[in-house]
Structure 1
Amino acid sequence: MARISAAVLSKYLLSGELSCRGCLGARRVSFSSESASYSARQTRHFTARATPITGPAPVPALAFQSSNPSPVPLRQQLKAQARALKSSGEKRKKNADNQTVPGWELTVGIEIHAQLNTARKLFSPAAASFNDAPNTHVALFDVALPGSQPSFQSDALIPAVRAALALDCTVQPVSRFDRKHYFHWDQPAGYQITQYYEPFATDGRIVLYPRDGIAPQDGEAIEVGIKQVQMEQDTAKTTAQPGGVQWLDFNRVGMPLIEVITLPQIHYPATAAALVRKVQMLLNSVDACVSGMEAGGLRADINVSVRRSDDTTGPLGTRTEIKNLSSFKAVEDAIIAERDRQIALLESGGVVVGETRGWSLGGTETRRLRGKEGEVDYRYMPDPDLGPVVIDDQLVRHLKDWMGVLPDAEIDQLIGDYGLSSKDALSLILLDDGARVQYFYNVLDAIEARLGSNADHESLATSSGRSHALLVANWCLHELGKLTEVSADLGMTPEGECRVPSTDLAAILYHLHSRTITAKVAKELLWSVFRGEIATGAVTAVVEANGLWFKELPDEEYAALADQVIEGEEKVLGEFLRFQDGKSKAYPHGKLMFLVGRMLRSGPEQMMDPVSAERVMRARIAEVYIPALQAKK
């Protein structure tokens, strides 16, 4: 092949002009209708508008193709899919009931790409921006300008090693970079720099539990091995436009990634989704990554194969790869669809072909993208421009000592020490990238300081410690969650503070726990603090100034209301008598709460406590009305 002149390269790299001279069916293809400007006086950052690419670029396949070149909104796509499914008369199984297929074994391996939390790109000093204007942070090496060289940014090692330690991997003292060759417009150099032969971390493991969302068939726990974790650079971001146009944002080129490669030890779709979720949680907990799947900072490629369950000693089936899954639900749905496709193909006498497939959000089946490339196709070779990466053991020990408590240990503590359910404990860990659980601790410390300093409530701080911890957890999860229905932004900070200061929520819950205000008043106070109507630290003063203290009815008045409600309810009382006489095994709790509800509606709401109302109603039924009914027999 003849050497390409510098003039031709310059036109391609700086103006987007590609010459097809000498090609069959030669025609001039313009990669840009608006060429990017470049000045020699500029610094090492390349700035341009988002560059549209026209020509033979394929339009990304949608779930429903149309002759109309304008893109179909996602909502319309999903509605069309639902209508098509309904008209076909088929019913899609719920994922919980679709984890296995009799007679077949599923095997899944996962490759997770996560963006590291760094200020600069992996091989250039350009800023590692995430949502900035397109093509505003691009160095010369990022666009493969001739003569530019990669410069490894050692800052990426810190979050990368933290991620490897969180995944229980062995950090290698020496690792090296390789070139993975392929040609596509999102990779200007024609190759990706990765760590294929000698990655920086190997031999890790992740333990998954039922609270993580694994399939019931996996039992109490499953351990999945991690083959390796490698550093590599990201590609440009491609955005499809109407008319077959693709816009490229080179801000993402060279972004520092880690690729987590698991062993093929997963056999159920729900467990695969749980593993991706667990990896995201672990990486966030050690501040290794900038964001999760919902924000585009983590993507998953899934390798799927099936074989007959009576042939488990033989080799695994031919695998296919599903690329770029961007949600946990997509991981589970895509695996189920691909598993069913392969099984149907094999049962009809066909052969599964190794290939790369795609998945559309809300789709019902995977689609072919291209044939599956092998190692020989990528022509892996050591990168001649980069030396080895040497990681000192002292750095590894230091990061391990200061890594803090990992999510599993913290969840166990929330369950064991504070009595939270596994679901609530996991939710606190996951929400707001871990900031919600810190907010929980801040509120808990503040309310315990109030309980401990008040002599009248010293017993509450010791004997019923779990009760106020459960109260705090419930409000941090559910009542704060209701605020987000009005405003999506709580303003939660990594330090565990938000638009509702932890000290103010602690003051509200202290009064609620002490039964000096009602739940209704507490909720109104929360909304007032959230809207900024109550100054920080003024909750108690507002309660006092507005006469919001709870003055509860005496038991005698509760009893009078109970008698009023029970009058004429002989049929309901008969259910309690049946239980008392042993004719019914279950206590009629629903009937009790029916009576309590009527009782609360009959009395002054601001002076009644549901717990006291239930206690008095239960006592009146057991001590007055049941003996009276028995005496009539």
Structure 2
Amino acid sequence: MPRIPASELSGYLLRGRICGRGCLHTIKGPSPVLLATSSRQSRHASGHGHPATDRSPGAALEGQAPIVPYRKQLKDQAKALKAAGGKKKKAKADNQTVPGWELTVGIEIHAQLNTTKKLFSPAPVSSANDPPNQNVALFDLALPGSQPVFQEETLIPALRAALALDCDIQRVSSFDRKHYFHWDQPSGYQITQYYEPFARNGKIVLYARDGIAPQDGEEVLVGIKQIQMEQDTAKTIAQPGEVHWLDFNRVGVPLIEIITEPHIHHPATAAALVRKVQLLLHSVDACVLGMEAGGLRADVNVSVRRADDPTGALGTRTEIKNLSSFKAVEDAIIAERDRQIDLLEKGGTVEGETRGWSLGSTETRRLRGKEGEVDYRYMPDPDLGPVVIGEDLIAHLEASMGILPDVEVEGLINTYGLSSKDAVSLMQLDDGGRLQYFYNVLDALEARTSQAGMPAGNGDGAALLAANWCLHELGKLTSASSREVDTEHASGEGLEISPSGECRVAASDLADILFFLHRRRITANVAKDLLWSVFRGDVGAASRPFVDVESAIDKGDLWFRELSADEYAQIADVAVRGEEKVLREFEKFRDGGSKAYPQGKLMYLVGKMMRLGPDGRMDPRSAERVLRSRIENHYLAELGTRA
């Protein structure tokens, strides 16, 4: 296909002129992109006549107003909206409440269980790369005569999830049929647990570190009404021309539905709950696919009422289906809350209905009227007997649960001194692999310290240093500015952290770097360069340029040979020359005229020292210590003498 000349492109983009050559010959009716009309332009747009001579961006035909570029039109519209009193979109932190109104939210979370079999057939659960309609059994397709057979192993991850959410396990539960007709449900009903679910009366505590709304304070408790097992539907793949393809691999995949009580009153708290539920399910190996992989979906029930309503009754709720990201949960709740409030303030009524949400939208859309119990015609499934759960199984699962996320976070905070934000980040990154990598680094660091004959301990700040590097310095390796990977040695651009904590940057190599850095035998800049060399593949094997970190430091002569105290003092004397005005600030503090110590002025002078001194031989902490001593014991006295 020949390249379109720039003049023709500019004519189309800036003035809506379409070239008559090629496949575009006729246009019925006026083109919506034409910003100015004339018989000459119309002939050109429909494939007749010749293009206009003047193709400059601001050109206009004789007798017509100049053409205004589209970007300027948008700017003018924004200015006009602002002048008319239009408001900008609120930030989410400022959009958690609406004065005079109370929001109530309940959430239903559907999570795919970590099993190899489907719920009622021996067909395997498909992976993302399996061909369509390959892993199906007769019952999955609802062929006549086929019957469900409950696969007992699917109960194990479901019980783990219920125990992690502090639920009461029901010793006897049963399955029911939920009737509705849709192309993704071949049998015309879904098997679920409506009347007798296997778990009830749970709870989850959300803390400020989980990202709840500030209005909820330090923590909020959300009740779990019940958890039930159910089967998934077929996957619908939309095609052009209102055609839909069905992939039955997903039919019968085991799910749990977690139904919360309506205890949530802020959109950010709702998103935090879904996020924490995903983390809990992953930590107990109940659900290994998160929202980003399609293994977890959320439906939210939203209602509003006036804050001063004397009846205290909840408003009519609407349900928003199939939200597939934490951001979508918060955005959809805000949009639906605002829609309902606007409707009620105008004298309208909120209808109970099911609504949809698309990423990037600013409002929800109606899908259908809200079904009720009568519409679904719930009935006990006659082909499935009750599920009886033994006490011994529950006791075994409780004993093998492991450490739950809240306990893990508290340990990171109390034992290693991490901030709550860093502790939660370690838990969430790489599906928990980053946390295990951090522990591997600590183990390797302790072994390295013991090998050197030095005492080990968590109180010396080494663990905090390791956490900082595992979170921040490792992250910088894969940033856009650092993707200069040696293709001969490196296997990819990512860190490739596995759930067991294996990483492209070996934990032992990072531990060696931190060992020398923590004991001030190398500088921070040298440590970062070494980390990048390990990431590229220059360090870490006999075939590489350097076998280990220590040999790389030796061959590069990178050891830190710090200046003496006298040498620091000489540099400090040079740094403070001509800085009498700055030194006066310290004099004011000493004499009681300043409320706070002028730390910023001190660091300004330390920066001058670092620039004046030799590269690779100065430590900022030593420079600060020497400079502070010189100011207090020498420079201020000299100022007084001059005065």
Using the size of structure 1 for normalisation, the TM-score is 0.83
Residue of 529, 538, 552 corresponding to 2:534: 529
Note if contact 1:115-1:289 (Cα within 8 Å) is conserved in structure 2: yes
1:391-431 superposed Cα distances (whole Å, 9 cap, x missing partner): 11101110101101111111111111111000001111111
In the other structure, the counterpart of 1:472 is 466
In structure 1, C-alpha distance between the alignment counterparts of 2:582 and 2:251, rounded to whole Å: 71
Shift of 1:125: 1.9
Asked whether 1:215 is paired with 2:208, we answer: no
Aligned to 2:433: 435
Alignment of 1:411 onto 2:416? no
Which residue in the other structure is 2:171 paired with? 173
Is the aligned partner of 1:518 residue 2:523? yes
Instruction: Return the letter of the residue paired with 2:284.
Output: V
Q: Which runs of 4+ in 1 moved over 4 A?
A: 82-89
Identity, in percent, stands at 70
Shift of 1:349: 0.6
Partner of 2:502: 497
| 1:322 corresponds to 2:303 | no
Task: Verify: 1:352 aligned to 2:346, yes or no.
Answer: no
Tell me how far apart the structure 2 counterparts of residues 602 and 448 of structure 1 sit (CA, whole Å): 37
Indicate whether 1:621 and 2:631 are aligned: yes
Contact 1:354-1:372 at 8 Å conserved across structures: yes
Name the structure 1 match of 2:68: none
Aligned twin of 1:243: 241
Name whichever of 365-374 and 486-495 sits farther off. 486-495
Give yes or no for contact 1:178–1:194 (8 Å, CA) kept in 2: yes
Output one character per residue of 1:210-240: Cα deviation in whole Å (capped at 9) or x when no partner: 1111112212221111000111111122233
| Aligned residue identity for 1:587 | Y
Letter matched to residue 109 of structure 1? G
Deviation at 1:313, TM superposition (A): 4.7
Scaled by the length of structure 2, the TM-score of the pair is 0.82
Structure 1 range deviating more: 518-527 or 572-581: 572-581
The 1-side partners of 2:238 and 2:420 are apart by 42
For residue 552 of structure 1, the aligned residue among 524, 548, 562 is 562
**Is the CA contact 1:517–1:549 (under 8 Å) kept in the aligned structure 2?**
yes
| Partner Cα separation in structure 2 for residue 534 and residue 452 of structure 1 | 23
* Letter matched to residue 581 of structure 2: K
1:110 paired residue number: 107
User: 1:292 & 1:516 partners in 2: Cα distance?
Assistant: 43
- Report Cα offsets for 1:359-400 as digits up to 9, x if no partner: 121221111111111111111111122221111110111010
Please tell me whether the aligned partners of residues 517 and 527 of structure 2 are also in contact (alpha carbons under 8 angstroms): yes
8 Å Cα contact 1:418/1:466 also seen in 2: no
Equivalent position amino acid for 1:574 in 2: R
Deviates more, 1:433-442 or 1:413-422: 433-442
Q: Give the match's secondary structure for 2:461.
A: helix
Judge which range, 92-101 or 531-540, deviates more.
531-540
Q: Aligned partners of 2:92 and 2:120: how far apart in 1? A: 42
- Maintained 8 Å contact 1:121/1:127: yes
The 8 Å contact of residues 281 and 288 in structure 2, kept in 1 or not, is answered as no
Match of 2:580 among 563, 570, 591: 570
User: Once the two structures are superposed, what CA deviation does each residue of 1:586-631 show, in whole Å capped at 9, x if it has no partner?
Assistant: 2222222222223222222221222222222222222222222233
Aligned residue for 1:607, secondary structure, equals coil
1:93 equivalenced with 2:90 (yes/no): yes
Change (3 A) 1:623 1:112: same
Tell me the amino acid that sits aligned with residue 623 of structure 1: N
- The answer to whether the 8 A contact 2:436-2:501 is kept is yes
Question: What is the match of residue 29 of structure 1?
Answer: none
Q: In 1, distance between residues paired with 2:619 and 2:496? A: 33
Residue 60 of structure 1 corresponds to which residue in structure 2? none
Measured in 2, the distance between the counterparts of 1:399 and 1:316 equals: 38
Q: Gaps (5+ residues) in structure 2? A: 1-32, 34-70, 484-491, 542-546
Q: Which whole-Å CA distance do the structure 2 matches of 1:197 and 1:271 have between them?
A: 29
CA offsets 1:104-130 (integer angstroms, 9 cap, x no match): 111110000111111121122222123
Amino acid paired to 1:352: V
- Is the 8 Å Cα contact of residues 177 and 386 (structure 1) preserved in structure 2? yes
The separation in 1 between residues aligned to 2:136 and 2:609, in whole angstroms, is 69
Tell me the SS of whatever aligns to 1:117: coil
In the alignment, which residue of structure 2 is the partner of 1:482? Answer: 476
What is the deviation of 1:521?
1.4
Amino acid at match of 1:341: R
Bigger Rg, structure 1 or 2: 2
- Counterpart for residue 184 of structure 1: 182
Partner amino acid, structure 1, of 2:289? S
Superimposed CA distance per residue, residues 411-458 of structure 1 (whole angstroms, 9 cap, x where no aligned partner): 111111111000001111111111211111111122122223434x32
Does structure 1 conserve the Cα–Cα contact (< 8 Å) formed by 2:301 and 2:320?
A: yes
Instruction: Tell me which residue corresponds to 1:582.
Output: 592
Structure 1 position 128 matched with structure 2 position 125: yes
1:227-282 deviation digits (Å, cap 9, x = unpaired):
00111111122233333232322222211111100000111111111111110111
Partner secondary structure for residue 606 of structure 1:
coil
How far residue 169 of structure 1 moved from its aligned partner, in angstroms, is 0.4
Which residue number corresponds to residue 21 of structure 1?
Answer: none
1:538 is aligned, of 532, 548, 560, to: 548
Given that residues 419 and 466 in structure 1 are in contact (C-alpha distance below 8 angstroms), is that contact kept between their aligned partners in structure 2?
A: no
Listed one character per residue, the Cα deviations across residues 38-77 of structure 1 (whole Å, up to 9, x for unaligned) are: xxxxxxxxxxxxxxxxxxxxxxxxxxxx9xxxxxxxxxxx
Q: Choose between structure 1 and 2 for higher RCO, CA contacts under 8 A separated by at least 6 residues.
A: 1
CA gap of 1:626–1:245, structure 2 versus 1, over 3 A, is farther
Aligned equivalent of 2:262: 264
Q: Deviations over 1:544-581 (max 9, x none)?
A: 22222111111222222222222122222232222222
C-alpha displacement of 1:505: 1.0
The verdict on how the C-alpha distance between 1:84 and 1:583 changes in structure 2, with shifts beyond 3 A counting, is same
1:274 to 264, 272, 275: 272
Greater shift after overlay, 516-525 or 539-548?
A: 539-548
Gap change, CA 1:558 and 1:164, over 3 Å in 2: same
Residue 86 (structure 1) shift: 5.2
Residue type at the aligned position of 2:569: A
Structure 1 unaligned residues grouped into runs of 5+: 1-65, 67-78
Cα distance change, pair 239–572 in 1 and its aligned pair in 2 (3 A): farther
Q: Name the structure 2 match of 1:598.
A: 608
Aligned to 1:247, what secondary structure does the other structure show?
strand
Query: What's the offset of the Cα at 1:158?
Result: 1.0
Partners of 2:571 and 2:144 in 1: how far apart?
Answer: 88
- 1:23 match: none
**1:74-119 deviations in Å (ceiling 9; x for gaps):** xxxxx9xx99995755411111111111111111100001111111
Q: 1:83 to 1:425 in 2, by over 3 A?
A: farther
SS at 2:249 equivalent: coil
State the secondary structure of the residue aligned to 2:301: strand
Alignment partners' CA distance in 2, 1:279 and 1:85: 43
Rounded Cα–Cα distance in structure 1 between residues aligned with 2:407 and 2:501: 19
Find the aligned partners of 1:261 and 1:120 in 2 and give their Cα distance. 24
Paired with 2:310 and 2:624, the residues of 1 have a C-alpha distance of: 58
CA distance in 1, matches of 2:109, 2:494: 29
**Distance across 2 between alignment mates of 1:602 and 1:242:** 68
Q: 1:584 deviation in Å?
A: 2.2
Moved more, 258-267 or 237-246: 237-246
